[in-house]
Amino acid sequence: MDGSTAQILVVDDDTSQLRLIRHWLVYAKYEVRTAETADGAEGMLSSSLPDAILLDVHLPDGSGVDLLQRVQEKHPGIPVIMLTAESGVAVVVQAMQAGAWDYLTKPVDRQRLLTVIRNAVEKSQMQLRLLHLEREASGRGYPGIIGNSLSMQRMFRQMDRIAPRDITALIRGESGTGKELIAHALHDASRRRTQPFIALNCAAIPETLQESELFGHEKGAFTGAQSRRAGRFEQAHGGTLFLDEVGELSLSLQAKLLRALQEHSFYRVGGSAQIDVDVRIIAATHRDLNAMVREGEFREDLYYRLAVFELSVPPLHQRGNDLMQLTHHFINQLAAHHQIGTVTITDEALARISAYGWPGNVRELRNAIERAVVLADNGKIQVEDLPERIQDITVPTSVTPTTTPAEPAPPPAKETLSEMERRRILEAMQETGGNVSEVVRRLGIPRSTLYRRLREYGLR
């Protein structure tokens, strides 16, 4: 068994047992993290999510079953395997009823341990892979996000992993790439989907008002504060708070934000009452926060608090044929919005769109298409309907649009999940020159699963 891509968290206050289990799992090529208390385990879960958890039913600072229930609530989908002494059968029954994946009795048998871990990891990673393959087979990603390019599919796989898990995420990407759309998609795929999604563009607020916008204020807290006002943290209680362009916050407010994230509470400006909140934070920036940390412009501790998971949104010029798909989508969407009827586009106009670099990314493309749709005579977009900067582009002879009609090309026949999986494995094997370790990393599956699929699909 090779668990090279899987991470296991082992929680047990029995030091000798912990050391032995760690040795077995590391030898089996798993990445292993350990904790001896419930608090220690929860601290680790706030910074990294494992593929499976081994959890003792008795811990020095609480019940393992209680911790299991908290894990189930915050991180559904992570298999939890309970560890217990022979005499703890009643507790095991309680744990299984609470949602434990399986259980092991002490002293732990090495072969039984590896078998249970392998099955749990395959279950965890299979769920993610099937979700991704279902999206591919249906020809879509997350609702509202269009993209079939390899770079977007990689991002979707990351989103599959973090969306249902109540952790902080930092979305990085150039301006106009759709970071807020991605944040909203993560919220809609989470357990908080029925609660508020509150967005705050930190770059659009004067420094003097940033604290009031985040935390609210009491009446008379400053000139013009004529009544109490709830801030974005309060408004997002139970849901998600999206902090766009978080790198624009002042250093003094960064310290207050860090404290609010650590303590899950804050004070309104001018207030003395502590306000407790349950909020998931998703932040975004187009700036290099690492460089800002080095230059003393952004707090290092806040950066690590926000960047529990980092999602990188590819710029439009790195998304291949997504450009044509987005172009046709926006033509149809904006024609309907402006009640214009059917709008088509000439090959020459598509060639200019293909050759342009799109420094403003998807936002710039949408704005350009909206202008063209409104200006188009007789429902056909010509080169002269595009913005001048795009009209003036020199089109290389090799640049031709992927599809010439304005309506999207008919989709190919849908593949079954097994056909889709076979194709993805074959592509990965070809792209990596048969490097199994790289294929395992790309597809996010255990090495043993890859070998089994290769045999099943005749790809030896």
Q: Can you spell out the DSSP letters for 209-247?
A: HHHHHHH-B-TTSSTT--S-B--HHHHTTTSEEEEETGG
Query: How many other C-beta atoms can be found within 10 angstroms of the C-beta atom of residue 109?
Result: 12
pLDDT at 354: 92
Spell out the residues 6+ positions from residue 157 whose beta carbon is closer than 8 angstroms to its own.
Answer: 128, 132, 444
Q: Are the C-beta atoms of 363 and 326 separated by less than 8 Å?
A: no
Best CA proximity match to 283, nearest among 206, 201, 174: 201
- Alpha-carbon dihedral sign for residues 448, 453, 458, 460: negative
Exposure b/e, 39-49, CB count within 10 A at least 16 = b = ebbbebbeeeb
CA 293, 159, 146, 349 torsion: positive or negative? positive
Contacts of 75 (CB under 8 A, 6+ apart): 45, 49, 164, 165, 166, 167
Tokens, residue 229:
């006002």
Angle between the N-to-C axes of helices 447-456 and 110-137, in degrees from 0 to 180, rounded to the nearest 10: 60
In angstroms, the first-to-last Cα distance of the chain is: 19
Q: Is 444 left (phi over 0), alpha (psi -120 to 50) or beta?
A: left
Each residue's pLDDT, cut to its tens digit, for the chain (460 residues) gives 444 468 899 999 998 999 999 999 999 989 899 999 998 898 777 656 788 999 998 899 988 999 998 888 777 778 999 998 765 667 777 888 888 989 898 889 999 999 999 999 888 777 766 665 655 555 445 777 888 888 887 788 778 778 877 788 999 999 999 999 999 999 988 888 899 999 999 999 988 889 999 999 998 888 888 888 899 999 999 999 999 999 999 999 999 999 999 999 999 998 889 999 999 999 999 999 989 999 999 999 999 899 888 888 999 999 988 999 999 999 999 999 999 989 999 999 999 999 999 999 999 999 999 999 999 988 999 999 999 999 988 877 654 454 444 444 444 444 555 666 677 787 777 777 777 777 776 666 667 777 777 777 777 5
**Looking at residue 4, what is its pLDDT?**
46
Query: In sequence order, what are the residues at sequence separation of 6 or more whose Cβ sits closer than 8 angstroms to the Cβ of residue 292?
Result: 247, 298
Unique residue bearing structure tokens 């019940």? 63
Q: Do 108 and 83 form a contact (C-beta atoms < 8 A)? A: yes
* pLDDT (0 to 100) of residue 212: 92
Rounded alpha-carbon distances, angstroms, from residue 18 to 23, 40, 150, 455: 9, 14, 40, 36
pTM over 0.75: no
pLDDT at position 109 is 92
Q: Put the strands of the sheet holding 197-201 in their side by side order.
A: 197-201, 240-244, 280-285, 169-172, 309-312
Rounded Cα distance, 319 and 325, in Å: 10
34 — phi, psi (to 5°)? -130, 150
Specify whether the CB–CB gap between 312 and 169 falls below 8 A. no
Enumerate the β-bridge partners of residue 97. none
CB 457 within 8 A of CB 424: no
Residues 6+ apart with CB under 8 A from 162: 49, 169, 186, 309, 311
Q: For 411, what's the count of Cα atoms within 13 Å in the CB-facing half-sphere? A: 10
Cβ neighbours for 105, distance < 8 A, ≥ 6 positions apart: 83, 84, 85, 86, 88
* pLDDT for residue 414: 47
